[in-house]
Amino acid sequence: MGCMGRHRWGMAMMGGMGPMCMGRRKGMMGMMRGMGPMCPICGRMMPMEAAEEREGPHRGKGPARRTDEQIKSEVEEALTNDSWLDASGVGVSVQNGIVTLTGTVDSRESKRRAEDLADQVPGVRDVQNNLRIEGM
């Protein structure tokens, strides 16, 4: 079983390696297929999913700007692919990176979920949630 992530994690700066436990470093990190860095405290491998959760604060900052059409497409895809949200009554429009959600959903939770999903799309500056709740 891999490291359960109960240690303090940070970035290892040697050779561009990924995250590793920042506790007592007892050697180099090891890599195995499908597994992430080795925890030097417990000696177990950290799953890649846990390693991928740790990112620096500057992802997505750069000269590239996403068009409103790209943002709209990704928001629609995110809403459609979410297994907990029926987005068949949701409309999406984007202007200058500001997403506007219109239409109807079946619950307050669905309204919040739709807004959260839209807000997670890269390039979204703000989300105007005009969704209405209609009972089933």
Q: What is the pLDDT of residue 74?
A: 97
Q: What is the pLDDT of residue 55?
A: 64
Q: Where are the domains of the chain?
A: 11-53, 68-133
Q: What is the pLDDT of residue 118?
A: 97
Per residue, the 3-state secondary structure of the chain, as one string, reads CCCCCCCCEEECCHHHCCEEECCCCCCCCCCCCCEEEECCCCCCEEEHHHHHHCCCCCCCCCCCCCCHHHHHHHHHHHHHHCCCCCCCCEEEEEECCEEEEEEEECCHHHHHHHHHHHHCCCCCCEEEECCEECCC
Res. 34: pLDDT tops 70:
no
Q: Which CATH number fits domain 68-133: 3.30.230.10, 1.20.1730.10, 3.30.70.360, 3.30.1340.30?
A: 3.30.1340.30
Please write the tens of the pLDDT for every residue from 46-82: 666 555 555 667 777 788 889 999 999 999 999 999 9
Indicate if the alpha-carbon torsion angle 68, 69, 73, 76 is positive or negative.
positive
State the amino acid at position 48 in one-letter form: M
- What are residue 112's phi and psi, to 5 degrees? -65, -40
Res. 16: pLDDT tops 50:
no
pTM of the complete model: 0.57
Res. 23: pLDDT tops 70:
no
Res. 2: pLDDT tops 50:
no
Please write the tens of the pLDDT for every residue from 72-114: 999 999 999 999 999 999 999 999 999 999 999 999 999 999 9
Res. 36: pLDDT tops 80:
no
| Alpha-carbon gap, residue 20 to 55, rounded angstroms | 12
Q: How far is CA 76 from the centre of its chain?
A: 16
Angle at 43 between CA 41 and CA 47, to 5 degrees: 105
